[in-house]
A = this chain, B = another copy of it.
């Protein structure tokens, strides 16, 4: 069964699980509260629809890991849904913290309802995610649920550590690759590692297999972020102005930029002079490429992807889901936008 068929099979089930979870926040006098959450999840309000929902990569990864690890993916639905809710809680708060007005082409929840209501709506998703996870105990042994929750909450802590570092880096010119990876491990990679680790926990695999799945998710997340950094500067849509502004305009200290700074070349000389306009961005992206940053980032993506695939192989994923999991990894890492 090719990966697309897994999406066709899983996505509708994931959506209905998520919808049932959100309904738990409903109650007398709570109409607008529910509206905020269904708007953010992409189901209601202006611009609602599949594009507004995002790709639901994380719950897909949970279910496919369970299947590839020999478990019953249906048992893992509350966990898949919980992780997507955690992801969305963190998006709501990140958008406030990063002052982002748009998310998937729509106004962010704080922009529509104000910071106070949006902060609180994010907290509600955090609580709902935990209530979802606890529903696992209707099917699985309590000790398994505790293990899954330990992984989830360790990850939530890690997310806040990554976000703390990201915010604290704004005022620092010099960052090392170590600083970068420490931040990205928390912000991006930890939640993907939780997807595959929790999938492995639910499938009751041995400890070393669980660790292999966890490492697969972790390196997939790191590779994904490095790929994001590459596209944020040299992606076709970015260069032609068809998509968001270049990361160079936003002044983001991404992997290629850190490399460029460390080279002390033509890019560095321009970078230290201050902010970059949309018009200048393509030329400065060329400077950065000439300094070797594009090549270096491609090398990192390649290295991280290999580590992800190696970890996955050492977990010995089974059957069609196992093959599809490898396919999903390649698909995520070869995207063009």
| Chain A contacts to B: CB under 8 angstroms | 24-25, 27-30, 32-33, 90, 93, 96-98, 115-117, 119-121, 123-124, 126-128, 130-131, 134, 137, 141-143, 145-146, 149-150, 153-154, 156-157, 159-161, 163-165, 167-168, 179, 182
Q: Are A161 and B123 in contact (CB under 8 A)?
A: no
The answer to whether A130 and B130 have CB atoms under 8 Å apart is: yes
- Chain B contacts of A156 at CB under 8 A? 123, 126-127, 130
Which residue in chain B gives the minimum CB-CB distance to A156? B127
Whether B115 and A96, one on each chain, are in contact in the complex, defined by CB atoms closer than 8 angstroms, is yes
Residues of B near A142 (CB, < 8 A) are: 141-143, 145-146
B93→A167 contact, CB < 8 A: no
List chain B residues, Cβ under 8 A from A130.
Answer: 130, 149, 153, 156
CB atoms of B25 and A167 under 8 A apart = no
The reply to whether A97 and B115 form a contact with Cβ atoms under 8 Å apart is yes
How many copies of this protein are present in the complex?
Answer: 2
Residues of B within 8 A of A161 (CB): 25, 27, 30, 33, 124
Q: How far is the CA of A96 from the CA of B97 in the complex (A)?
A: 12
Complex interface: chain B residues within 8 A of A164 (CB): 30, 32-33, 117, 120-121, 124
Q: Tell me the bound Cα distance from A126 to B122 in angstroms.
A: 12
Q: Specify which chain B residues have a CB less than 8 angstroms from the CB of A182 in the assembled complex.
A: 28-29
B25 touches A157 (CB 8 A): yes
In the complex, what residues of B have CB within 8 A of residue A27's CB? Answer: 161
CB distance from A128 to the nearest CB of B (A): 6
Asked if B146 contacts A120 (CB within 8 A), the reply is: no
User: A33-B164, A126-B126, A131-B153 provided; 10 other pairs, C-beta below 8 A?
Assistant: A25-B161, A32-B168, A97-B120, A120-B167, A121-B160, A123-B156, A130-B149, A142-B143, A146-B146, A149-B149
* Distance A168 CA – B160 CA, assembled complex (angstroms): 28
A157: which of B32, B117, B131, B141 is its contact (CB, 8 Å)?
B131
| A164 nearest CB across to chain B (Å) | 5
A-B contact pairs, 10 of them (CB 8 A): A29-B182, A93-B120, A96-B119, A97-B115, A97-B116, A123-B163, A124-B161, A126-B156, A134-B149, A145-B146
